Amino acid sequence: MQLRLKKGKIYNKKPPVKLQGGEEGRTDRARAFSLLSKATTEPSSGNMPKRPRGFRTAIETLVSEAVILSTGQKTGFDLKFVKPSLSYVVFDPETLEKKYEIEAEDCQDLGSALKRAKDSGLSAVPYFYSGYNTGGNSAGIRLDRGNPVSDLHLALHEKRHSRKSSAGLNHTRLGKAYYEKSPRKGAQKLSDAGLIQEAACEYSATYDLLVLAETCGNPELKRKMKSRAREILKSTDSTRRSIESASSAKLAGDERAFRRALAEFGREISELDSELVVYGELGRAIRNGNCKAEARLERRAKALTFPEKVFADESLYDLLTAKLLHYSDYQNEGVERSVYSLYSEFSPAPKDVASGLAKNPFIDLIGLHKSEEELLETVSFFRKMRRKSREYLKEEISRTAGRVSDGRLSSEKKYALLRELYCLSESARRKGVEFSESLAPLSDVSGEGKFEAGRLMRIYSR
C-alpha cells in the first residue's frame, strides 16, 4: 500500500508552470503524458529525482482527467511536492510488536522521547512517510526516487482520500472513522473502515492508472503504466507474505530466516531496478551463509534505499523492520480480499471507461459501506442479480429507487437500499437494459443519502 503522512514541508513553492509547447490541437492530457515520459527513472545528484519543468502540473492534469473519465466528476486537484515527514517507529525488538510512533515535527523534546523508548528496552527507528491528503482537494507527495509513474499513482491514491464531492472517500459513510480510538498519541490503529479505505484508494488509483494508459499515445509510457499497475496488484499478496515470514521467523528465534524475509520484503517494495538486483543477491547471500557477501550487499542496499543522513547510524535490517511494521498497519488480508472482490466485480474494462462507454461506480459504491461484512453482502447480492432477467432488473430498479426516496427511512436503511440499487443498476447496464428513467425517484431523496443518490443517477445516466 502507498502510505500517508499528516504533515510535510513544501520544497517546491513556485507557482504552477503552464504546460509548454506541442503540436496545435494536442490536449492537456497529451502534453502531460509528454512531460511524464521525460522524467528520469533513476535518481540524480543528492538522490533526488530529476523532473522536468511543469511536471507537477502534468500530474495534476492527469489526476483530474482520470477522475473525469472514471466517475464523470469535474474536479481540480492541487498537488504539492513535499519533503519527507520523519517519524520514529517504536517496537519491541524481540516480538516485533509495534508500540507507537513518534512524529518528529510534533514532538517538543525528541531526544527525551527516544531515550525513554530505548530505556524501556524498545527500538525506535526512523521512517519517512510518502504522501498525505488534507481531507479536501489537495495533497502532498514525496517524489519517488526511481519511477515517475509511481509519482502519478501515489497522487491518484491520495486524490481518492479527498472529499466525496471531489471524487474521494472523506465524508462518506466509510470515511467517518479512519482510526480506532486510542488513549495514547501515536498509537492509533486503523479501524476496519480505515483499512477498507486504504485498500479502496489503492485499487482505485491502480484502476485509474490503467484507464489513463488506454488514452496514452506514447507506446513506451503506456507499457510502463500498465506494468506498474500489474506490479501493484501483484505486490499486495507478496508483501503480506514477506511480513508474515519475517514475523514468524522472529518469533521462532531464527535470525537468519528473519534477515532473509527482510531482504525479500526490501525486494518487494523496491522502486529502482538496482534495488531489485541488490536485494535479490542479498537474499541469496543470506541463504548460502556467505557473510562477506551479505555485509557488502547490506551496505549497498542501505545506500540505495535509505540514503538520507538520518538513517546513517541505523542498520539496514532495523530500517526494513520499521518499514515492515508500518506497512503491516495498513494491511489486512480479509479486508483487502473483500475490497478486491467489490473492485473486480464492479469495475468495467478500463478501455470502456477510457472511451466513454462506461463509468466506474467502485469509489461511490464502496463509500456506502463501513464494514467488511457489508462488503461481502454487496458482492453476494450482485452475483445473484447478474443472473436475473432484464425484465426483473428493470422492475426492481424502479421499485428500489422509489423506496430510497421515502423520507421516513433511517439513514442506515437508505444506504442499504442504495447498495442494492448499485447492484441492480450495474447488472442491468451489462445486459444492455435502458433504465435511466427508472432512477427518477432518486431526485426526491433528501437529507442524508441525497448526494449519494445523485451520484448513482449521474453514473448510470445515458
Angstrom distance (rounded) from CA 322 to CA 304: 17
Q: What is the pLDDT of residues 83-126, one digit of tens each?
A: 778 899 999 999 999 999 998 888 889 999 999 999 999 999 99
Identify whether the C-beta of residue 382 lies closer than 8 Å to the C-beta of residue 365. no
Place of cell 538520507: 308
* Collapsed DSSP state (helix, strand, coil) of residue 357: coil
> What single-letter DSSP state applies at residue 360?
-
Which one, of 151, 145, 155, lies nearest residue 273 by Cα?
145
How far apart are the C-alpha atoms of 63 and 141, rounded to whole Å?
13
Q: Which helix (H) or strand (E) holds 441?
A: none
The DSSP symbol for 375 reads: H
Q: Please check whether residue 165 is in contact with residue 196, taking contact to mean a CB–CB distance below 8 angstroms.
A: no
Angle at 47 between CA 45 and CA 49, to 5 degrees: 85
Amino acid identity, residue 45?
Answer: S
Three-state DSSP state, 454: helix
DSSP string, 7-72: ---BS--SPPPPPP--STT--HHHHHHHHHHHS-SS--GGGPPP--TTHHHHHHHHHHHHHHHHH-
What DSSP line would sit under 140-209, residue for residue? EEPPPSS-HHHHHHHHHHHHTTSBGGGTSSBTSSGGG--B---SSTT---B-HHHHHHHHHHHHHHHHHH
- pTM for this model (two decimals): 0.87
Residues 104/88, Cβ–Cβ less than 8 Å: yes
DSSP three-state, residue 288: helix
Query: Coil, strand or helix: which one is 293?
Result: helix
Q: How would you write the pLDDT of the chain (462 residues) with one tens digit per residue?
A: 444 434 333 333 333 334 333 333 246 899 999 999 888 655 544 455 678 888 999 999 999 999 999 998 888 888 888 877 889 999 999 999 999 999 888 888 999 999 999 999 999 999 988 887 876 788 888 876 668 898 999 999 999 999 998 899 999 999 888 888 765 665 678 889 999 999 999 999 999 999 999 999 999 999 999 998 998 888 777 788 888 899 899 999 999 999 999 999 999 888 778 899 999 999 999 999 999 999 999 999 999 999 889 999 999 999 999 999 988 888 888 899 999 999 999 999 999 999 999 999 999 999 999 999 999 999 999 999 999 999 999 999 999 999 999 989 999 999 999 999 999 999 999 999 999 999 999 999 999 999 999 999 999 986
